Amino acid sequence: MKNLCWLFLSLFWFGVFLIIRFAEGQNQEGFISLDCGLPLNEPPYIESETGIQFSSDENFIQSGKTGRIPKNLESDNLKQYATLRYFPDGIRNCYDLRVEEGRNYLIRATFFYGNFDGLNVSPEFDMHIGPNKWTTIDLQIVPDGTVKEIIHIPRSNSLQICLVKTGATIPMISALELRPLANDTYIAKSGSLKYYFRMYLSNATVLLRYPKDVYDRSWVPYIQPEWTQISTTSNVSNKNHYDPPQVALKMAATPTSLDVPLTMVWRLENPDDQIYLYMHFSEIQVLKANDTREFDIILNGETINTRGVTPKYLEIMTWLTTNPRQCNGGICRMQLTKTQKSTLPPLLNAFEVYSVLQLPQSQTNEIEVVAIKNIRTTYGLSRISWQGDPCVPKQFLWDGLNCNITDISAPPTIISLNLSSSGLSGTIVSDFQNLTHLESLDLSNNSLSGIVPEFLATMKSLLVINLSGNKLSGAIPQALRDREREGLKLNVLGNKELCLSSTCIDKPKKKVAVKVVAPVASIAAIVVVILLFVFKKKMSSRNKPEPWIKTKKKRFTYSEVMEMTKNLQRPLGEGGFGVVYHGDLNGSEQVAVKLLSQTSAQGYKEFKAEENTVALF
């Protein structure tokens, strides 16, 4: 009976444990946790130490290959570090993540090489956030792996994290995680906040993460020999939007000697770095009636608090720098020094330091980025360069695009798109019209079908449209023909089902056979007779004040030529330059239209010379 009670009790507590872990899993709203290299056919899993659900990165990146560290190393690492994704192809390979614009995010990337490829060559490469460099990953310096963190506010609903090849070694990544933070926390005057360190003052050996930290920040324990650790078993209120782990606030460090300041010294990676400090305090000792704890915060000899700091009993108080600070020579010396009226030494529960990372290059116009991504998806384009920002940095400009980049503070715009011979099929989708700064569009030599969309005429920046060599049908919209008369260059050659005349109607016309009476030789003779007739007329009217006939050259658009020849319906003959077609101008004048053939033995100059000669008559 006793054993049975123990069994029921064990099952009860196991059930409680499962409910708690389930609740924690449900509270991961907004978390993105990618196990890089995990096969897509493997289901998401719960990581055992944090209870966080990880899933494959396959749907967030279009390139790369998967690898796995040796079996003997897997047991020493978290499950998400067992697999990885590496990038032997291309220079820039990017994750594309859906985020909330204007929301503060903690972004964490983990890299563990583990000699997965057997080459024993630790890679070195850069990592970009959007179009700006974030950091350099050098696994030769840290062979046991490294973790990079940044607190960043995305400027759009799409965030790109890119690995950039900078030498002979191949970039790789083990895990990528995003954690949304409270919007009124970790605010920098400019730029983003690059993690420098985050600690709680304790002689413990446990790294604190989720679920103890609701934002899944990593807190490292830290203590110095000249400090004394104090602690409490009472609960400490940790709710002030920064919400550090309650475990961290239950412990603190104070100087062992009353009159000695609590001192911390650290060296910055770059001497010119600007930093932000975040200190979390809570009084965890019951003070006697005549006891007081008050202290100042001194950075490199300068008092940076405006009044003495007095922690509240069992309540969190976060003190932070609202403006970035610099440390002379890159060496920072922070001291907590008790004030004259204080009877107790200073204390510190937890401490965070971040350096400022400026991200000066603006992203490409967001509307245009969405449009070009939709075009990529619609037509199944898989160009390896089509990752990350389409326009910047310039060395990673997408193939087939040209952009207007005026200033790093202004969003670049797409002004040219060349998708010629790209295997496109289907209709011309409406996403093209959202490329509002486009000047040139080349969709030639594909298998596009359907009508020529009228929205092309509303794209006021467009100067050149090449739709030749497709399977388009129907009539050219009148608005587009009007734009052509205004100077738009439109090429629609090679679309057999496309009607180029303004007389196009939905129902097919009955074909009328046209009988050519005169052979080519006779036409040449008629031309000679006409020329002789014109010459005699000129001679007889030489003394008249005005010439008998006044001629000048006139330019016609391609569509107008197609209209006057009824889509090149009636060939008259063929010469050295190409075929001559019969045409009707305004229903009153008959004309002959000569087209220069691409296979002509004579060149454009000779064709132009003949045109000028004919224009004299």
Q: What is the CATH number of domain 22-181?
A: 2.60.120.430
Residue 605 above 60 pLDDT? no
CB 146 within 8 A of CB 135: no
Structure-token pair, residue 292: 């007081």
3-12, 247-256, 395-404 — which is least confidently predicted? 3-12
* 476-500 confidence digits (pLDDT tens): 999 999 999 999 999 999 999 999 8
Sequence ranges of the domains in the chain: 22-181, 194-357, 366-499, 545-615
Q: Which pLDDT band holds residue 196 (cuts at 50, 70, 90)? A: very high
Q: Which pLDDT band holds residue 589 (cuts at 50, 70, 90)? A: confident
Q: Which residues partner with 96 through β-bridges?
A: 160
**Residue that wins the pLDDT comparison between 137 and 592:** 137
Strands across the sheet containing 440-442: 401-404, 413-418, 440-442, 464-466, 489-491
* 326-336 confidence digits (pLDDT tens): 999 999 999 99
Measured CA to CA, the distance from residue 234 to residue 97 in angstroms comes to 41
* Percent over 90 (pLDDT), the chain: 76
Q: What is the pLDDT of residue 519?
A: 39
* Percent over 70 (pLDDT), the chain: 80
Measured CA to CA, the distance from residue 61 to residue 161 in angstroms comes to 10
Structure-token pair, residue 516: 């050519």
Residue 209: Cβ within 10 Å count = 18
Q: What is the pLDDT of residue 582?
A: 74
Q: What is the pLDDT of residue 563?
A: 74
Q: What is the CATH number of domain 194-357?
A: 2.60.120
Residue 573 above 80 pLDDT? no
Q: What is the CATH number of domain 545-615?
A: 3.30.200.20
b or e along 574-583 (b: 16 or more beta carbons within 10 Å of the residue's beta carbon)? eeebbebbbb
Mapping DSSP onto H, E and C, the string for 457-478 reads: HHCCCCCEEECCCCEEEEECCH
Q: How far is CA 220 from CA 185, 215, 223, in A?
A: 20, 15, 10
Q: Which pLDDT band holds residue 610 (cuts at 50, 70, 90)? A: low
Q: What is the pLDDT of residue 514?
A: 36
Taking residues 561-579, what's their average pLDDT? 69
Residue 176 above 60 pLDDT? yes
Structure-token pair, residue 308: 């003495």
Q: Which pLDDT band holds residue 562 (cuts at 50, 70, 90)? A: confident
Residue 585 above 80 pLDDT? no
Taking residues 213-227, what's their average pLDDT? 98
* 239 is annotated as contributing to ligand binding: no
DSSP codes of every residue in 356-425 = EE---SPPP-HHHHHHHHHHHHHTT---TT--S-SS-SGGGPPTTEEEE---TTS--EEEEEE-TTS--E
Residue 36 above 70 pLDDT? yes
Residue 199 above 50 pLDDT? yes
Residue 497: Cβ within 10 Å count = 10
CB 98 within 8 A of CB 34: no
Could you tell me the CATH superfamily of domain 366-499? Ribonuclease Inhibitor (3.80.10.10)
Q: Which pLDDT band holds residue 561 (cuts at 50, 70, 90)? A: confident
Q: What is the pLDDT of residue 27?
A: 79
Q: What is the pLDDT of residue 590?
A: 75
Nearest to 286 by CA among 314, 258, 309: 314
CB contact set of 17 (below 8 Å; sequence gap of 6+): none
Q: How far is CA 56 from CA 173, 309, 616, in A?
A: 13, 47, 74
Q: Which pLDDT band holds residue 596 (cuts at 50, 70, 90)? A: low
Compute the mean pLDDT over every residue in the chain, rounded to the nearest whole number. Answer: 86
